[in-house]
Amino acid sequence: MREKPRASELLAWYDRHARDMPWRVPPGARKAGQRPDPYAVWLSEVMLQQTTVAAVRGYFHRFTLRWPTVSDLAAAQDTQVMAEWAGLGYYARARNLMKCARTVVAEHGGEFPDTREGLQALPGIGPYTASAIAAIAFGRPETVVDGNVERVMARLYDVATPLPTAKKELTQLADGITPDQRPGDYAQAVMDLGATICTPRNPACGICPWRAPCRARAAGTAPDLPLKLPKKPKPVRVGYAYVGRRADGAWLMERRPDSGLLGGMLGWPGSDWAEIPPAPAPPLPADWHMLTEEARHTFTHFHLRLKVLIADLPVDAAADHGHFIPRDEFRPSDLPTAMRKVFDLAHSAFTAVSTGPAEDR
DNA sequence: TACGCGTGGTG
DNA sequence: TCACCAAGCGT
């Protein structure tokens, strides 16, 4: 083992192994003076919060194609943005995305602030994202601390304190390595190291550019770090979802309240979701038919089992809650995944009926 | 400080 | 099948 890890060692590795991403300026082009579009950096960083690169790529492509600038996004309709975000999860990010875009346009002339402090004052931009944008888009020497950095630092310095207690200590350790030169490339280099070499499981210590100064590698503790406090078990909640299809093909749906779980997203009418089975809650009287199979979905803090009921509704059906989405405006991809699973089951059941034996039609 | 907040990949 | 995990933020 050798003394202290140096940023230069990681930057040299990044020059050879940087991953190619649509929101990135590669290290060669960055040295030639090219800077990434702050809008693209912001959008990608928000999408990447607690989300994998693989999941983000397609969404980033569609968003930038549809809304090429922050002004375009600020002018978009809420429902369009929520529909485009559907499936990516953590929907408060999409609501804050619109708030942030509109603030940048209304209060900053359509240009993102170029300091960490200015950025962190915007909706949906916390300590990590503010530092990341400041470093990557504006070349500020800010220390970026995300899950990758925490893991890499915990291993480099063999920190046995469990997260989240260790966060402050790991931040200080990271701050001691952050360079004044190429802070943006350095931030992305640590992410790439954490994603490809210093991975949560089975780290590839043998080919790590920081293998020499890594204390956990010397101690043999790298695969076990960072330690984390045990998590609470997830309870099972149950509920009812009602998929009503009108004779003209329109679907009865609800826009969920703007805050809370799946806030602002489309959903099927139904009961509460609770550990003690709630009462059925049909949105209108009809010949509801319960499917044999339940829709199962796991959220951050509970497992959900939804009993799905379907019904054919007359063209003049009227519901107290919700509204009908015309057949040609309904896209399953606009729904959050839990609701799309419900639709998939219902759609199969509707299809099975309509293609069944002739005497059933 | 602790919790609420999604989803898809992985071993 | 299932727990764990991924570029956190807001309250």
Cα gap A111→A105, rounded to integer Å: 7
Q: What residue ranges do the domains of chain A occupy?
A: 7-224, 236-360
- CA–C1' gap, A269 and C7, in angstroms: 35
Which nucleotide, over all strands, has the C1' atom closest to the CA of A149? C7
Torsion-angle region of residue A122: left (phi > 0), alpha (psi -120 to 50) or beta?
beta
**Cα distances (Å, whole numbers) of residue A5 to A27, A174, A179, A217:** 21, 10, 12, 13
Homologous superfamily (CATH) for A7-224: Hypothetical protein; domain 2 (1.10.340.30)
pLDDT value of position A354: 61
pLDDT band at residue A212 under the 50/70/90 scheme: very high
pLDDT value of position A17: 95
Amino acid whose CA is nearest the C1' of B11:
A201
- CA–C1' gap, A258 and B4, in angstroms: 14
Counting every residue written for chain A, the total comes to 361
Q: Distance from first CA to last CA of chain A, Å, rounded?
A: 76
Is 1.10.3720.10 the CATH classification of the domain at A236-360? no
Residues of A marked active site are found at 45
From the centroid of its chain, how far is CA A265? 15
pLDDT in tens, A113-149: 999 999 999 999 999 999 999 999 999 999 999 999 9
Q: Is strand B in 7 Å reach of the CB of A333?
A: no
Which nucleotide, over all strands, has the C1' atom closest to the CA of A152? C7
pLDDT in tens, A149-181: 999 999 999 999 999 999 999 999 999 999 999
Could you identify the residue written with the tokens 């997830």? Answer: A234
Nucleotides of B under 7 A from a protein CB: 2-9, 11
Nucleotides of C under 7 A from a protein CB: 3-10
Cα gap A350→A342, rounded to integer Å: 12
